[in-house]
Amino acid sequence: MAGRFLSLFKSIARIVPEIKVPERKVRFNEKLFWTALVLIIYLIMTEIPLYGIKTTQLGELAALRIIFASSRGTLMELGIGPIVTAGLILQLLVGSSMIDCDMSRPEDRSLFTTASKVFSIVLTGVQASAYIIGGMYNAPGESLPGTISIIIFLQLLAAGLIVLMLDELVQKGWGFGSGISLFIMGGVAQGIFWQCFSPTIAIGEPRSYGIFIALAQVLSVGEPVTVLLLRGQNPSILGLMVTVAAFLIIMYMEGVKLELPLSYAGYKGFRSRYPIKLLYVSNLPVIFASALFANVYFFSQIFWNMSGQPPPGTNFWLDLMGQFEWIGEVGQESLTPVGGLVYYVISPRSFTGVMGDPFKALVYLGILVAFCVVFSLTWLEVGGLDPSTVAKQLVGAGMQIPGYRRSGRAVESILKRYIPTVTILGGIVVALIAGVSDFFGVFGSGMGILLSVGIIYQYYEILMRERAAEMYPAFRKVFGG
């Protein structure tokens, strides 16, 4: 039976909008069509500005926005943030047994999905309200009229509902994979494409922002290519080279693993292997760390705005959490962290920035590595990846390690030699890749490259499996279809 908490959502399930599971087999080309349509709608929403505000008035979350697939000042301002946050909260509650939910039961799974959707809608409203009340859309010394505030709130709420439905459309079987992964990958690809081919004029330069357009301009006038090696916050040749290197390194790291030999107790002579990947908990630690940094930025900016935007030295707690300044020409100001904790959880994002304040870069990298290790070990327990749980699963499947007796304690003792160490190393590796690559101005951010490589690999497997099942229907049983 569903837990008491989930039972509260039985009556709400009737009024929550829902995408129905297809009653027929959706063909490969049709799934491809719906997946592409969902991605196109998302990309269009990232280009439609919110009515009633000026995008130049907004602060910049820089690379931290990548985990929420958000685009500042547009309908995708909140991105997938409410959906991801709601899902993480509920999964942590279920994983810690604070909520009774048996995911093997269809009723519990249905109520869990409904609860996730309700939480997502509520969090969309809460975040939209916080953005407005906290002054996220105000220019220096200005305030939003009440009517404009309501219009902005309704736009963000409607966009949040559309994103929720698009994600559910893909997950219910009309498309491939999940909408969340699709949006993240689309956002990263869009960012990389813009940094490569944007024709707009770069800040502080007479050349275009896109590195390839700028390179063509430099070659056409006979300037040395070295002028594009470092370009501050603008895309540079160094950033392009690091982007390619980051892709290759991450793809290599994805394949690094330790394989423990296994044998089936009921089938003598039948051997198998249990892979323990270096990235054992995948990219989750750096996602959680980046989400935490984004919330520090978000709330510190809200508190600073609500306190009247005081200068440094006025309020001790604001100085500790974060201080901001409006930097730039009149009408083009950008809200920039200048002190406090928030200053040290934002990556310099360029080699020039690192050289300008190496202490900040080292502190940021140290904080990122520390939190990634903590979140790696935390998810090990919450996500059911700890040695004890894995040992029970292996023994329950009739497997054992050759040379050891078939018992959970024996298998667990072997797994304890590797899993905790690999988990810590994996957390350090993903943190260093994400942090150091950002220091050299990697395109799409280090976090974005980490996520996109994993998502592309997942989609490759899904597409190959679906295509094989389409061409050879007999394979469908093997794939579980």
Cα diameter, the chain: 78
Alpha helices in 358-475 (DSSP H): 358-382, 387-396, 408-439, 446-471
User: Dihedrals φ, ψ of 144, to 5°?
Assistant: -80, 135
C-alpha distances in Å from residue 354, one per residue of 26, 297, 312, 362, 369: 51, 20, 23, 9, 17
Residue bearing tokens 């160094």:
238
Give me the mean pLDDT over the 243-252 stretch. 91
pLDDT at residue 477 is higher than 60: no
Strand (E) or helix (H) holding 337: strand 334-339
User: Dihedrals φ, ψ of 49, to 5°?
Assistant: -70, 150
Query: What is the set of domains in the chain, with CATH numbers?
Result: 1-189 (1.10.3370.10), 236-443 (1.10.3370.10)
The model's confidence at residue 267, banded by pLDDT at 50, 70 and 90, is: low
- Segment 337-368, tens digit of pLDDT: 888 888 888 888 788 888 888 999 999 999 99
d(CA 425, CA 405): 29
pLDDT at residue 178 is higher than 70: yes
Quote the pLDDT of residue 38: 93
Quote the pLDDT of residue 432: 92
Token pair, residue 459, equals: 């989609």
Instruction: Compute the C-alpha angle 132/133/137, nearest 5°.
Output: 35
- Segment 60-118, tens digit of pLDDT: 555 667 778 888 888 998 888 888 888 778 877 776 677 777 766 777 777 888 888 88
The model's confidence at residue 268, banded by pLDDT at 50, 70 and 90, is: low
Pick 150 or 203 by higher pLDDT.
150
What percent of the chain shows pLDDT beyond 90?
19
- Segment 288-340, tens digit of pLDDT: 788 788 778 878 877 887 777 777 777 788 888 888 777 765 555 666 788 88
d(CA 431, CA 380): 17
116-125, 177-186, 401-410: range with lowest mean pLDDT = 401-410
Strand (E) or helix (H) holding 263: strand 257-264
106-115, 158-167, 177-186: range with lowest mean pLDDT = 106-115
Token pair, residue 26, equals: 């959706």
Quote the pLDDT of residue 315: 79
- Segment 434-443, tens digit of pLDDT: 899 989 989 9
pLDDT at residue 478 is higher than 50: no
Token pair, residue 451, equals: 């996520």
pLDDT at residue 369 is higher than 90: yes
pTM > 0.85: yes or no: no
Token pair, residue 378, equals: 């935390």
Written as one letter, the residue type at 409 is: R
25-34, 205-214, 269-278, 400-409: range with lowest mean pLDDT = 400-409
The distance from CA 292 to its chain's CA centroid, rounded to whole angstroms, is 12
